Structure 1
Amino acid sequence: MTSEPTEFQNPEELQRARQLSLQSTRPPGEAPGYEIQRCLGTGAYGEVWLATDRVTGRRVAIKFYLHRGGLDWTLLSREVEKLVFLSADRYVVQLLDVGWHAEPPYYVMEYIENGSLDELLGAQGALPPEEAVVLFREIAVALTHAHGKGVLHCDLKPANILLDQDRWPRLADFGQSRLSHEQTPALGTLFYMAPEQADLNALPDARWDVYALGAILYCLLTGAPPHRDDESLRQLDRTGDLGERLACYRRWLADSPPPDLHRYVPGVDRALADIVDRCLAADPARRYANAQLVLDALDARERVRRRRPLLILGLIGPLLLLAIMTVFSWRAFSAAVGRSEQMVKEQAYRANDFAAKFVAKSFEAELADCFSMLEHEANSPEFLAEFRPVLQGEHLGAINDPTAPAGRLRELRAKFLDDPVRQDFKTSLEQRLARVRGNSPSSASNFASIFVMDALGTWVAGVYVNEVVGGPIGENFSWRTYFRGGQEDGPRQPPSASPQHIETTHLSAAFKSSTTKKWKVAISTPVYDRTPAESKFLGILAVTFNIGDFAVFRTPHTPSDYFAVLIDNRPGDRRGTVLQHPLFQGQPPAQDFNVPLPQLQRMGSQAVYDYLDPLAEAPGGEAYRGDWIAATQPVGLPGRNQIPNGQRLDTDLLVLVQVSAQAATWPVHQLGRRLAWDAAAALAVVVLVVIALWVIVFRISGDRVGPAERKSPTPPELTPPHDQTTLPVTPRPGPGGQQMPAR
């Protein structure tokens, strides 16, 4: 004996061994003219053997009926009768010969080489949807041919569908088939049998085969028949006789939800799933009335599938065209808006540049008026007559003594402050201030103060409009620009016996008031005692102005999108300081705000469309945020102050006119938004029209039911009553003594 263990067989091998053990090794009888070779299968009523025609050599299948009762002869005659009806039909396994009087009787039919559809499913499982539909269509065509000749199969299942050499299906086993005029019941195979067919009193109906068709397609797609699971098999196994088994089957199908595994198979579209569902409808009224309507539904599905690319192209094409048009239109629209916006900005810049020049000229004109007013007052005989006595007083001479100690200076200044001559001169200055402010409507009358200094720079008298200040009487300010000239104050040091002084009317550098925090400028002019012999320098007469009091800078204290600004343009750390701004009309901020030097330099050489207002960061300056279009223009001195070659002298002041870029381009953006909304509305209308047309086309061409379905199908005719005897369905014994449906 060998010590090697016995190899275990897998379930497929066990099933194959069981089938081989059940097959006969000797044919049950002879068939004249045929050489019998081997057994192909065994059924309830006989065996099928492979044989060869001795004359032609053709391979055939011979079915022997082993039982001899009258029922067996009826089964043989019934099956042969149906095969005769279907002779010459390529979709049916053809009948070749019948041995009526042989022992046992038999009939000879075609031998189909590739076995049954059931064997194919057992070998490879569920089929791909496309392959399953091809086979299903051929089975439906075969069934349509059979129905057309009045034959109802009544036991359609994968085991009764054979595959020829081209793997096309052929209907076989018409043992349970009925003619359309018969009234005898026929039982099919569980889970392929319609629920109403599972009744011993049921009358044959074409919709039985339709249900079996749906069950076959379901099996092709999922690999198992509908409703079949472990629980259903347990329920059926618990039943006793055939009637109980059929009733249990009907209840199970009625209580179970419609099978839906086929809907989750990849590649199964909704139309195909609907065909399966309608074939498997438990209510026969909802089922296709015959196999031809199933074919019509398949044809309708195929038409939709063939048209689907065109339908999709019909949808995607216009949408793609619209998308392309939208993209290019949007690009063109954006470019047009961008060009229009740039043109508007350039136009706004040119307007700003013109406005800056106009404001600068207006400011120069106001300065010229101030220069003229001040020179007129300084040269008036009345002023000189009032000024000379003050200069000749003993207190002023003592104050100007460089050797006087500090304590003595304070005493002298106090006496000089109360000096009647100086008081009379101050009174005359007040009268002069009132007269000038009352007579002149120009900015020349809007000065904030007027003061006089002697030839050494000592403050003699001063009058203020809004400030109750006595002034630094007796102090020396010869180092200030309004006395010595220049762009910057000189070093503060003891007074000189002959300090540097201005020789013409002079505009001082801007300075901030220590009390009001407002920026000011001073205009000073030299005072001379002119005689035919000489011209003696007596001192200076000066006035101060709040920069915001000049007419060109008077703006309401409300945020505006268009205004002028004055900037200090002196070289040094203070270059770019904002001297006047609409935000300064109220309470000006304590800190200084500067335009960054790079921006200032860029504005001097090119157009600027993205100027950032430094006052946007000031308290209350939120309205000045964002980009501004800005243009600058330097302020020149009055025209008579020119250098010899005729060119004018510029001050250290710079006029900046700015307009909000958003406000300037608002009409363009508003028009752009309106056009964009109109374009969007037009696009939406076009899209809706395209979609509506596409839906109409889809509904017209996407009808899932064929022409036959659109007609009102006539209900299948039941077998009419006649005088033929209805044969009872005889149950056959099954394993364990259970009764099985007749085959």
Structure 2
Amino acid sequence: MSHSDHTQQQSLEEQRQAQERSLRRSRPPVEVPGYALDEFLGAGAFGEVWIGIDRNTGRRVAIKFYLHRGGVDWSLLAREVKHLVSLSADRYIVQVLAVGWDADPPYYVMEYVENGSLEDLLQQQAALPPARAEQLFHEIAIGLLHSHGKGVLHCDLKPANILLDQDHRPRLADFGQSRLSSEQKPALGTLFYMAPEQADLEAVPDARWDVYALGAIYYRMVTGHPPHRDNTTTRDIESATSLPQRLERYRRLIRQSKPPTRHAHVRGVDRALAAIIDRCLAADPNNRFANVQEVLDALRRRAEARTRRPLMLLGVLGPLLLLMVMAVFGWRGYLEAKRQSTDAIRQRAYESNAFAAKFVASALEAEIERYFDVAERESRLPDLQARLNELRSYPLVDRLHAADNDPARREPLREQFVADPERDALTAHLRSRLDSYLDLLDDDPNAAKFASIFITDERGMIVAAVYDDEQVSTKSVGGNYAWRTYFHGGPVELPRDMRTPAIRPLLASHLSAVFQSTTTNLWKVAISTPVIDNETRRTIGVLVMTVNMGDFAVLRNDNVQSDRFAVLVDGREGTSHGTILQHPLFAREGDTSARYEYSKPEYRVTNEQLDQVASNWRYQYVDPLSTAPKGVAYKGTWIAALEPVQLPERNEANASPRDSELMVLVQESEQEATRPVRSLGSRLVREGILALFVVLCGVLALWYFVVHVMSSPTPWEPHRPLPTTTSTPVHDVTTFAVRDKS
């Protein structure tokens, strides 16, 4: 390659002479028509540059004089300048305003760019903000596109050849190494801005050279250094002894080094932009953008993607947010509907249980009334009265009463009385009557079921007693029980040492307070009625018929539901208040001692519970027996209603009902009562989750399709180098930036 094939270099002597001329130059080489030369700007390999003023417009211009004609083909240079004149009409390229090739020396006039070069700016700031760098990168690419569109490849693009106008927008300048796209002549650029394949004295100009330089300029703008440049690589290249060796080392450096990545780590450089720069800087030209148009297309797609990103994000998050809002309000609505439905069911269940409690209480009241009738009928039997009168006149009975306050003397007499055959006739009568009632149960399960029948004399001593279980040995015959409510008819039991005449026998049929049998440990209630002699109309004793609390017909059911049942509660004021007298758990307990355990305070219904279940349908009742060893089936919360058992006074006409001190509590498992609501709620939740999942999948599928379509790359047009047989030699058309006047 000849000396004219690359940029003209000055010798040391020529440089010295140019410096001397620069120092002493005060007059321009020649007057330029229409322009007043104002200031000497500088000198280059082929001449000088002056600042002038257009006499017509006052516009400042830069005028370059070609003082050294050696080595320049003026005809080819004139043709190239014509290309630049047509190209300079573009705002992204420094404009050529006039050409004086016929003058001596020749010159051309170009616009004066006031803000210096991009290199000057980078010398001051080192690195630019990514947004500013991106703006410059985009506008430089547009300028290159326009240049390539006119068939001119710059081939020496670098920050020093990019000038900044008054708006700080870039202008391409210094096309000294430029080539027409149809040329085959090589052109050398600047190290670290030059594509590796360009660093070859036999290389054919290619638009991808400018693409590489474009990426290198952006890399320099955001990192402060050109790609691959450091002290080591610079020393290695500069140590070469010849131009071909320097070029070979440069090519090897670029191709063997890892792709530069510092730009990708700069804050503000997104992945898409970093990928564009990576492709611009690809060492293999086949992996590089084929032309500047592809770079701009990639920037456009990135800008469109960034513009669409908020909308796409909104399009993704919007439905998700809508689904979330729908889910939140749907869940709140579901919870509220579930609460209202549960409350409605609880209220209806409470009302149903209250009605059931009233029904059970009424049935129990009627049953007790029937027991009263039976007791009164039995007390009037002549055989009973005759046997009782015989026993009352027996001397041993008087002796027992006389020893009431002397237990040591009384116990032997009681044992003698129990074994005395004088009692047999009365005992046999009571046995026959009890057996007759027990026999009725075989035909009528709802018939009266008595646990025992006993009779006292008019002073409270039990003179005869029989039990439904004949194996039970009596412990009460011969004992004085005048203090019991079934004898005196009062509301509470009296002190045990009280005797007649302080205690008088009752005057009418009576339902006793609940008591626990000393013989069986079972909770009982006694239906007692005075035995009035049919002839004398005097009270000769008290007939007592006891019923176990679980043996009332209304409560006597072997198939009690485990989730809804009635229990009897002791309503007497005092230590036994709240004691559970009848419960399905008792039927499971064969051991009477276990039933005695259930009378302890920890298994009683508290006053607070009784108050709540009496009126509050929202109250969640907890069964006290759920804590018993065998009470697991009764754990959980219950919907309970309470109703007292009332009885009329038997000895008064039109008497108002009075409390019997028994309370019926009907309880229903809340879990079972609300099971339909919970089942429906669970189904609705499953359906809601399924619906949300289907909608979410639909939204994701639609957006996957949209994103896939919008992100599909446009097929690249294959790059085809344009063959040509003409060539243009390298020329030196240097555009000078404004020098620093400070």
TM-score of the pair, normalised by structure 2: 0.85
Cα gap change, 1:415 to 1:211, in 2 (>3 Å): same
Deviation of 1:322 after TM superposition, in Å, equals: 3.9
**What is the letter of the counterpart of residue 529 of structure 1?**
D
Residue 282 of structure 2 is aligned to residue 281 of structure 1: yes
For residue 483 of structure 2, the aligned residue among 462, 479, 482 is 479
C-alpha distance in structure 2 between counterparts of 1:31 and 1:511, whole Å: 141
Residue 585 of structure 2 is aligned to residue 583 of structure 1: yes
C-alpha distance in structure 2 between counterparts of 1:694 and 1:287, whole Å: 31
C-alpha distance in structure 1 between counterparts of 2:20 and 2:209, whole Å: 32
**Corresponding residue for 2:375?**
374
Contact 1:65 1:72 in 2 (8 A): no
For residue 495 of structure 1, the aligned residue among 496, 499, 502 is 499
Residue 120 of structure 2 is aligned to residue 149 of structure 1: no
Cα gap change, 1:445 to 1:451, in 2 (>3 Å): same
Cα gap change, 1:320 to 1:545, in 2 (>3 Å): same
Question: Which range is displaced more, 62-71 or 587-596?
Answer: 62-71
Equivalent pairs, count: 699
DSSP 3-state at the match of 1:25: helix
Cα gap change, 1:632 to 1:36, in 2 (>3 Å): same
C-alpha distance in structure 1 between counterparts of 2:377 and 2:253, whole Å: 123
Question: Which range is displaced more, 322-331 or 643-652?
Answer: 322-331
- What is the 5 A alignment of 1:601-640? 601-637=611-647
C-alpha distance in structure 2 between counterparts of 1:574 and 1:46, whole Å: 126
C-alpha distance in structure 2 between counterparts of 1:167 and 1:392, whole Å: 139
Contact 2:67 2:106 in 1 (8 A): yes
**Corresponding residue for 1:111?**
112
Deviation of 1:142 after TM superposition, in Å, equals: 0.8
Contact 2:380 2:534 in 1 (8 A): no
C-alpha distance in structure 1 between counterparts of 2:240 and 2:396, whole Å: 143
Residue 542 of structure 2 is aligned to residue 540 of structure 1: yes
**Corresponding residue for 1:566?**
568
Residue 23 of structure 2 is aligned to residue 25 of structure 1: yes
**Corresponding residue for 2:513?**
509
Contact 1:79 1:177 in 2 (8 A): no
C-alpha distance in structure 2 between counterparts of 1:290 and 1:77, whole Å: 27
Deviation of 1:399 after TM superposition, in Å, equals: 0.5
Residue 429 of structure 2 is aligned to residue 431 of structure 1: no
Cα gap change, 1:694 to 1:596, in 2 (>3 Å): same
Deviation of 1:313 after TM superposition, in Å, equals: 3.9
Deviation of 1:100 after TM superposition, in Å, equals: 5.9
**What is the letter of the counterpart of residue 667 of structure 1?**
P
**Corresponding residue for 1:8?**
none
Cα gap change, 1:577 to 1:107, in 2 (>3 Å): same
Contact 2:255 2:283 in 1 (8 A): yes
C-alpha distance in structure 2 between counterparts of 1:23 and 1:224, whole Å: 34
DSSP 3-state at the match of 2:344: helix
Cα gap change, 1:48 to 1:727, in 2 (>3 Å): closer
Cα gap change, 1:600 to 1:725, in 2 (>3 Å): closer
Cα gap change, 1:478 to 1:725, in 2 (>3 Å): closer
**Corresponding residue for 1:243?**
244
Cα gap change, 1:701 to 1:438, in 2 (>3 Å): same
Contact 1:91 1:170 in 2 (8 A): yes
Deviation of 1:641 after TM superposition, in Å, equals: 3.4
Q: CA RMSD in A?
A: 3.4
C-alpha distance in structure 2 between counterparts of 1:547 and 1:416, whole Å: 30
Contact 1:27 1:49 in 2 (8 A): no
For residue 459 of structure 1, the aligned residue among 453, 459, 462 is 462
Cα gap change, 1:636 to 1:187, in 2 (>3 Å): same
Cα gap change, 1:89 to 1:406, in 2 (>3 Å): closer
Cα gap change, 1:372 to 1:143, in 2 (>3 Å): same
Deviation of 1:417 after TM superposition, in Å, equals: 1.6
**Corresponding residue for 2:709?**
700
**What is the letter of the counterpart of residue 111 of structure 1?**
Y
C-alpha distance in structure 2 between counterparts of 1:399 and 1:585, whole Å: 39
Residue 685 of structure 2 is aligned to residue 682 of structure 1: no
C-alpha distance in structure 2 between counterparts of 1:401 and 1:23, whole Å: 161
C-alpha distance in structure 1 between counterparts of 2:688 and 2:213, whole Å: 58
The gaps in structure 1 that reach 5 residues or longer are 1-20, 730-743
Contact 1:568 1:577 in 2 (8 A): yes
Contact 1:31 1:99 in 2 (8 A): no
Contact 1:366 1:442 in 2 (8 A): no
DSSP 3-state at the match of 1:70: coil
C-alpha distance in structure 2 between counterparts of 1:400 and 1:55, whole Å: 156
Question: Which range is displaced more, 211-220 or 442-451?
Answer: 442-451
Residue 399 of structure 2 is aligned to residue 398 of structure 1: yes
DSSP 3-state at the match of 1:610: coil
**Corresponding residue for 2:223?**
222
Deviation of 1:177 after TM superposition, in Å, equals: 1.3
**Corresponding residue for 1:49?**
49
C-alpha distance in structure 2 between counterparts of 1:47 and 1:516, whole Å: 136
Deviation of 1:570 after TM superposition, in Å, equals: 1.6
The gaps in structure 2 that reach 5 residues or longer are 1-18, 590-594, 733-742
DSSP 3-state at the match of 2:533: strand
Contact 1:559 1:623 in 2 (8 A): no
C-alpha distance in structure 2 between counterparts of 1:541 and 1:231, whole Å: 126
**Corresponding residue for 2:180?**
179
**What is the letter of the counterpart of residue 291 of structure 1?**
V
Partner deviation per Cα, 1:469-524 (whole Å, 9 max, x = no partner): 33133221111111112222101215224632222222221223457654222222
Question: Which range is displaced more, 169-178 or 211-220?
Answer: 211-220
* Percentage of pairs with the same residue: 50
Deviation of 1:355 after TM superposition, in Å, equals: 0.8
**Corresponding residue for 1:201?**
202
**Corresponding residue for 1:83?**
84
Contact 2:212 2:280 in 1 (8 A): yes
Contact 2:403 2:410 in 1 (8 A): no
**Corresponding residue for 1:656?**
665
Q: Answer 1 or 2: higher relative contact order, Cα 8 Å, separation at least 6.
A: 2
